[in-house]
A and B are shown apart, each in its own frame.
Chain A
Amino acid sequence: MKNFTLILIIMAALNVAQAQTEILHVDVDTNTTESQFGPNRRHFIHTFMSLGLHTQIPANGNYNFPRSSYLSFGALYKLKLSNYFSTGITLSFENSSIQLAKDRPVTFPDSLRHSKETLDQFALSGSYYLRINMEKRGNSIGKYLDLGVGGLLQTGANYQYEDPLIGKEIKEVKIRHYPMLRASNWYLYTAIGINNFALMARYRMQSFFIDRSGLPEAPPIMIGISWGFF
């Protein structure tokens, strides 16, 4: 709105100055242009970070629920349609880390039982969403409900396991570019938020594995929280 230039020159420099020092300068015409960019303006873009847990209801005993996590960083664009509706897209880079339970039936990826087994998927993700705001507000995000659909493209997948050896020694084995996970996927998405903070849920629409090798499907639901940086 009113970006003004304020220049304060240190008094010590005054002695050598050859022109008078302007300590405040405001160009009213250029500083009163109505902005098209802002949390509740026509356009808005911000970065965000999300943290979540993979789960399903009822709980699937094949996965270690509290340790199967989700992390993403990305950017969100919002286009205001009206005070109550807006739409937009998100682009993010995400990591899903699914930890297999120790007491599951041991068929995946082989019949050996390990003390800790983790599947990691790295992916680029994009989504389209419709946002419903609940009330009149000023130039702030306010309270909202997002409904969206998105897709992800796998950029890497690892499988790793750990086994205790003698004493405190741990044996770690990491298989990079693990081929058993689906290279692309799509999901439905919803969130409720207030300003910078949102509770979110995602439902994966395709199977996690290309070939499960007898293992039940990985949890399709991810619930989490998201912070917008603006």
Chain B
Amino acid sequence: MKSLFQAHYSHFLLIFSLLLLRTMPAGAQVKYWVFFKDKPDTHFEARQYFSPKGYERRVKRHLVMGDYYDLPVAFRYIEEVNALSDSFYACSRWLNAVVISAGSASLHQIASLPFVSKIEATHTLKLTRKTEDSLHIFRIKKNDSLLLRFQLHRMKGEIFRNRKLDGKGITIAVFDVGFRNADIHPAFQHLFKRGAIRATYDFIGDDPKVYDRGSHGTMVLGCLAGVFDSIPMGLATGADFLLARTERAHVEITFEEYSWIAAAEWADRHGADIISSSLGYSEVRYFQEEMDGRAAPISRAANIAASRGILVINAAGNEAENSWGTIVAPADADSVLTVGGVDPRTDVAISFSSTGPAADGTLKPNVVNLGIAFTSFPRKFGTAEGTSFATPLTAGFDACVWQAYPQKNNMEIFHMIESSGHLFPYFDYHHGYGIPQADKVLGFAGQTAPTFHFDLSDAYLEVKINEEFVPKKDEDGKLLTRPKNLYYKIVKANGKIRKYGVVLAEIDEPIYFERSDLKKGEKVVVHFEGYTDSYTINEEP
């Protein structure tokens, strides 16, 4: 055995060395965020940094200019770190950080620089197909036509239309994988005719062109501002747009997160009021318990964007049916309006829509919208599934609200959107506050009379819905009216939700909660047909 080992020892070493060499370059390419302590000797010239529109936005919204986040990263710091690193990838003034790669010795030197506050390994490249929205392309059929009308009607969008609220004066930055053919697509000709596409940039390819690759952005833009046969597919047909390509299709690479952050700073510079992002990052880079708005740099940047007065809207993610399950970054950031998806046929969370809460307990998703929508594809129109499309539908709604209430700041609009949800003040971790409603946000919705009441017996807490909401049946027992959804949750004494669900109220029977399942101090909260009430358990069963 020994002689055999000696005879082939060199062969084994050769194979091993080859494998090691194959691995080492990957190790050497590990990228690091280098965060700095301060921004000394930096100067901010607002009129130089911002585009005229960006400057105007800051002034109009009474936002400070030249604060810590606006100041650039100290040039001296960049130079010193750059000199010690192998490669320089990105720089963020919001995070006061740069992204570099360096060997361990150099990294040690960088860490010992007096102005470096911390170094974090970035998350690595993973060659994998990402979870994608399902794309179902159909010819325009009756159902598509119904969906086209329903997707805005579900938000009572016609109320905005009647008041000529179409997002005019609002600038929306859309971050996506590209906007293939959007420049020649009939759905967007009204935007190009009036010069509504104010700027474009491909942060992956470092190029202003965004129309030659990636279909997803074309579909997302359709749900924001596209039109089909003069019928709007989104509510923001009068808004202005900044289109940024920050994502590659089919693979997840670290650079996408830097691109998103760079695009957010670019959007701020160009005066974006709203960022609509149907992108998200999950298990390739993070754990579920890191979805707390602090672990992911992109989530921290999203919160900084919100601090710059931008309303950041992000898709919850399409992860509910896989092992990840929960929301994705940056939807975990507390200042990001996270949008889940519902099935337009049932008004219940669609099976793939990521659920909350965030890892720190923050309510997510904040609101929901249709997870199946009619929209534009690069060469046609059709329906598409995904929280990606619920997001621009909501962003269009938000643009109209901001147009209606220009004096409000971004977080006031954020809370107005939440409180306009069709379930508000009820919420749960599948539906948030529900689908935003135009009449509620504009103050037209009246008080809803009670639609049910509670009855407590020895064995049950019963929820009895009013007779007029019991579906009618014909002589054969066939339903004549559609049953309504009753949403319930059981809230513990400490305020945390223990259980929640949706019941289809289809027969003239109460909904029973077993007393034995309800502890003292717990509260049963029920929402049914616009009315929310609760019952607190005051004694042990």
Report which A residues bind B (CB closer than 8 A).
1-4, 6, 8-9, 11, 14-29, 34, 38, 40, 56-57, 134-140, 142-143, 145, 188, 190-192, 194-195, 199, 201, 203, 205-207, 217, 220-221, 223
Q: Mark B274-290, 1 if CB is under 8 A from A, else 0.
A: 00000000111111111
Knowing A2-B320, A191-B19, A205-B1, the reply to whether A14 touches B506 (Cβ < 8 A) is yes
Q: How many angstroms between the C-alpha atoms of A59 and B320 in the bound complex? A: 52
Bound state CA distance, A207 and B124, in angstroms? 41
**B63 at the A interface (CB under 8 A):** no
Chain B binding surface SS class: mixed
Contact of B479 among A14, A25, A143, A207 (CB under 8 A): A14
CA distance A11 to B483 in the complex (A): 10
Contact between A139 and B22 (Cβ–Cβ < 8 Å)? Answer: no
The distance from the CB of B33 to the nearest CB of chain A, in whole angstroms, is 11
Counting from the closest, the 9 A-B pairs by CB-CB distance are A135-B124, A24-B502, A136-B121, A1-B325, A25-B501, A138-B286, A203-B12, A2-B325, A139-B283
Is B388 interfacial (CB 8 A cutoff)?
A: no
Q: Across the interface, which residues of B come within 8 angstroms of A2, CB to CB? A: 320, 325-326, 355, 429
Does residue B443 face the partner (Cβ distance < 8 Å to A)? no
Choice from B4, B15, B500 contacting A26 with Cβ under 8 Å: B500
Is the pair A203, B479 in contact by a Cβ cutoff of 8 Å? no
Distance from B35 Cβ to chain A, minimum over Cβ atoms (Å): 15
Stretch at the interface among B178-186, B346-354, B403-411: B346-354
Which residues of B sit under 8 angstroms from A14, Cβ to Cβ?
479, 483, 504, 506-507
Q: By the criterion CB–CB under 8 Å, are B504 and A201 in contact?
A: no
Given A28-B499, A223-B15, A203:B8 Cβ within 8 A: yes
Residue in B8, B284, B485 with the greatest tally of chain A CB atoms within 10 Å: B8
- Is the pair A134, B288 in contact by a Cβ cutoff of 8 Å? no
Binding stretch for chain A, among B23-31, B51-59, B234-242, B261-269 = B23-31
Please tell me if the beta carbons of B349 and A24 are within 8 angstroms of each other in the complex: yes
Contact with A along B475-502 (1 / 0, CB 8 A): 0011100010110000000001111111
Given contacts A11-B479, A21-B503, A137-B285, contact A142 B355 (CB under 8 A): no
Cβ distance B485 to chain A, nearest Cβ, rounded Å:
8
Residues of chain A with a CB closer than 8 A to B507's CB: 14, 17-20
B218 partner residues in chain A, CB cutoff 8 A: none
A136 B19 Cβ-Cβ under 8 A: no
Find the residue from B23, B128, B473 having the highest chain A CB count within 10 A.
Answer: B23
Contact: A206 with B348, CB < 8 Å? no
Residue-wise, chain B 284-321 has the 8 Å CB interface mask toward A (1 for contact) of 11111110000000000000000000000000000010
Residues of A within 8 A of B503 (CB): 20-23
B20 contacts the other chain (Cβ, under 8 Å)?
yes
Name the residue of chain B whose CB is nearest to the CB of A145: B23
Residues of chain A lying within 8 A (CB to CB) of residue B323: 1, 38, 139
Cα-based distance from A140 to B284 in the complex (angstroms): 6
| Contact of B19 with A143 in the complex, beta carbons under 8 Å | no
Distance in angstroms between the alpha carbons of A29 and B324 in the assembled complex? 17
Given contacts A1-B325, A137-B124, is CB(A192)–CB(B8) below 8 Å? no
Nearest B-chain residue to A197, judged by Cβ: B127
- Which residues of chain A are near B27, meaning CB under 8 Å? 134-135
User: What bracket does the count of chain B residues touching chain A fall in?
Assistant: 35 or more
Given A11, A190, A195, which contacts B19 in the complex, CB threshold below 8 Å?
A190
Are A135 and B501 in contact (CB-based, < 8 A)?
no
A20 to B120, CA, bound (A): 52
CA separation between A135 and B26, bound complex, in Å? Answer: 9
Structural contact, B477 and A136, CB atoms closer than 8 A: no
List residues of chain A with CB within 8 A of the CB of B514.
none
**12 residue pairs bridging A and B, Cβ less than 8 Å apart:** A15-B477, A19-B509, A23-B501, A25-B499, A26-B429, A34-B288, A137-B284, A139-B286, A205-B5, A206-B1, A220-B11, A221-B11
In this assembly, does B337 line the interface, its C-beta being within 8 Å of a C-beta of chain A? no
Whether B430 pairs with A26 at a CB distance below 8 angstroms is: yes
Q: Which of A6, A26, A205 makes the CB contact (< 8 A) with B499?
A: A26
Whether A136 contacts B15 by the Cβ 8 Å rule is no
Most chain B beta carbons < 10 A, residue from A26, A57, A217: A26
B156 close to A (CB within 8 Å): no
Give bound CA distance, A201 to B15, whole Å.
7
Q: Which of B11, B497, B500 has the most CB of A within 10 A?
A: B11
Contact A139 B287 (CB under 8 A): yes
Report A170 CB to chain B, min CB distance, Å.
35
Asked if B288 and A1 sit within 8 Å, CB to CB, the answer is yes
* Cα–Cα, bound, A26→B500 (Å): 5
Residues of the B chain whose Cβ atoms lie less than 8 Å from the Cβ of A191: 19
Contacts of B430 in A (CB 8 A): 4, 24, 26
**Chain B neighbourhood of A192, CB < 8 A:** 19, 22-23
Are A140 and B126 in contact, CB atoms less than 8 angstroms apart? yes
In the bound complex, residues from chain A placing their C-beta under 8 Å from that of B346 are: 8, 23
Which residues on A sit within 8 Å (CB–CB) of B511?
A: 20
Quick one: closest B residue to A221, CB to CB? B11
User: In whole angstroms, what is the CA distance A213 to B504 when docked?
Assistant: 80
Quote the shortest CB–CB distance from B396 to chain A (angstroms): 27
